[in-house]
Amino acid sequence: MGAKMVEFNGWDMPVEYPASIGCGIINEHMAVRTGVGIFDVSHMGDIGLVGPEALNAVQHISMNDASRLAVGQAQYSALLYPQGTFVDDVIVHRLADDEYFLVINAGTREKDFGWVRDNTRYFNCCLQHRSDDFTQIAIQGPKAINLLQKLTDADLSKLKFYWVTRGTVCGLKDILIARTGYTAEDGFEIYIPPAEEISTRVWQEILAAGKEFGVVPCGLGARNTLRLEGKLPLYGHEISDSISVWEAGLDRFCKMEKPDFLGKPALERTKAEGMKKTLVGLEMVERGIARDGYKVLGEDAREIGYVTSGSPAPFLKKNIALAYVPPQHAAIGSTVLVEIRGQGVKAQVVPTPFYKRPKKA
Amino acid sequence: MPYPTDRKYTKEHEWITADGTIGITTYAQDSLGDIVFVDLPKVGAEISAGKTFGTVESVKAVSDLYAPASGTVTAVNGELATAPEKVNKDAHGSWMVKIALKNPAELDSLLSAADYEKFVSEEAGH
């Protein structure tokens, strides 16, 4: 489609599609906020855990409480190192009584798989590396449901957010359909067979069916700005092997009342000790765009932290960023400086997420 | 893609006219994508051929602007501070700065429209 391609963790990925077909990061971003956009996210990895002790295994390796999942339900969670920092963040889906399906990040998939294998070997369950079993397509935006409903017999109106079902999609039987995404918008992710001719046909059929809703293909660029507006973390930026759950502010997905999981003892300790840094949302007050890795300075121009992700926010029409700063600089309304090409440019700590999708009436 | 013949071009994708008006090319704006920020020097600033004189940012990337020739800035297109997207719409009509050329002969070593067009078609790989 003439997209601008970039290598991303060994994958050739589209950054954005051409302006000549109505794309470009801003148009792609706006389509997802106001209509519908589709993403090829086949680079995501997938791990299956199946067997009598699959739940125990998932409970051991992840911080959220998978015992609360009904069959067909999914949850955001993370795999933690013993020190309470991130191996990766994941979505855990419960597909059957004793079958769990973990969607992991592209850049960490080999590491994740090895780590899950090593830490689940004493559980009576079977581990499956399923990353190459699927082409994963995300259909995202308020009109995603209208689009996908045209192509499937599954009743999508009955599928709640963070639930998963199976149905026929574009004539393909028994396709996994999850109401999930990485855009802070309503939407679906479908897992279809990876053969190129099938993937291409489904992609084209989705584009054709979405014409009446103004569907556009979206690349990694818009995926990043959309997730940033929604404050959804990106591995290697907001979360990493040197950042803890508390620092990242992901407390609500970490169930400390769970009997035991990797990282829990360290998290109990660090919770009592308090944090040295915490993740905040910044909005640029003066002219300038904060970018990943830029320094954050206090009002006295001393270095206090760093930007993890920064960009213009196409829907909000502001320049926003996520940054780690010491807790004493984290209060909403605090002024900090972002160092841009040697200059301290004023920014303010603002509430997050920057964008929250409107509730349906 | 027609490149105007009334100006010279650099391999860093800037254009300059004989009277010292400077901008970026259509190829550059297309490669950058949606332009959201242009940072330019002030009137009176000295810029040197081959050195950076400003920055242009798209949603995704930050790119330096390289001076096609040396000189003193005599005017800055202030419109681009509030409407940087004009560069996407009309790169060859959206000038960035004007300079008083220190040495007009510097332009002789720059690319003609035809040479630049050939250069970008090779860079784009088609």
Sequence ranges of the domains in chain B: 7-102
Please give the C-alpha separations between residue A275 and each of A248, A272, B48, in angstroms, as whole numbers: 10, 9, 48
Confidence tier at A2 by pLDDT (50, 70, 90): low
- Greater confidence (B123 vs A66) lies with A66
d(Cα A254, Cα A258) in Å, to the nearest integer? 9
User: Between these two residues, A11 and A301, which has the higher pLDDT value?
Assistant: A301
ipTM given for this complex = 0.88
- The domain B7-102 is placed in CATH, from the list 2.40.50.100, 2.60.120.650, 1.10.1060.10, 3.90.1170.50, at 2.40.50.100
Distance CA A296, CA A290 (A): 9
Does residue A287 sit at the B interface (CB-CB below 8 Å)? yes
CB nearest to A312's CB, from B31, B36, B81:
B36
Point out the residue among B30, B55, B59 whose CB comes nearest to the CB of A312. Answer: B59
CATH superfamily of A245-350: Aminomethyltransferase beta-barrel domains (2.40.30.110)
CA distance B11 to B42: 25
Class of domain A45-132: alpha beta
Interface contact B124, partner A, CB < 8 A = no
pLDDT band for A218, please (50, 70, 90 cuts). Answer: very high
Per CB-CB distance under 8 Å, the chain B contacts of A32 are none
Using CA coordinates, name the residue in chain B closest to A27.
B34
**B56/chain A closest Cα distance in angstroms:** 11
Of A26, A287, A341, Cβ closest to residue B59: A26
**In which band, very low, low, confident or very high, does the pLDDT at A23 lie, cut at 50, 70 and 90?**
confident
Closest CA of chain A from B105, distance in Å: 32
Side chain identity at A91, as an amino acid letter?
I
Of B34, B57, B88, the CB nearest to A289: B57
Asked if A26 lies within 8 A of B34 by C-beta distance, the reply is: yes
Taking the C-alpha atoms of residue B35 and residue A179, their distance in angstroms, rounded to an integer, is 33
A305 vs A142: CA distance, rounded Å: 36
Chain B residues whose beta carbon lies within 8 Å of the beta carbon of residue A311: 59-60
What are the start and end residues of each CATH 3.30.70.1400 domain in chain A?
45-132
On whether any CB of chain B is under 8 Å from the CB of A15, the answer is yes
**pLDDT (tens digit, 0 to 9) for every residue of chain B, 126 residues total?**
589 999 999 999 999 999 999 999 999 999 999 999 999 999 999 999 999 999 999 999 899 999 999 999 999 999 999 999 999 999 999 999 999 999 999 999 999 999 999 999 888 765
Average pLDDT in the A305-314 region? 98
Q: What mean pLDDT is reported for chain A? A: 95
The pLDDT, as a whole number, for residue A1 is 54
Confidence of residue A6 (pLDDT cuts 50, 70, 90): confident
User: CA A266 from chain center: how many Å?
Assistant: 25
Q: Among all chains, which residue has been given the structure tokens 């949606």?
A: B34
With beta carbons less than 8 A apart as the criterion, state whether A190 and A136 touch.
yes
Could you give the dihedral angle defined by the CA atoms of residues A8, B65, A313 and A143, in that order, rounded to the nearest 10 degrees?
Answer: -60
In chain A, beta strands by DSSP E: 4-8, 11-16, 37-40, 45-50, 74-80, 86-96, 99-104, 126-129, 135-140, 164-169, 172-178, 187-192, 216-217, 278-284, 295-297, 303-313, 318-325, 335-340, 343-350
Residues spanned by CATH 2.40.30.110 within chain A? 245-350
Is the minimum CB–CB distance between A16 and chain B shorter than 8 Å? yes
**Using N-to-C axis directions, what is the helix angle for A25-34 and A220-229, rounded to 10°?**
50
Q: What is the CATH number of domain A4-42+134-229?
A: 3.30.1360.120
- Letter string b/e over residues B60-70, b meaning 16 or more CB atoms within 10 A of that residue's CB: beebebbbbbb
For the cut 60, the answer to whether the pLDDT of residue A361 exceeds it is no
pLDDT in tens, A258-273: 988 999 999 999 998 9
d(CA A143, CA A86): 34
Distance (Å, whole) CA A195 – CA A199? 6
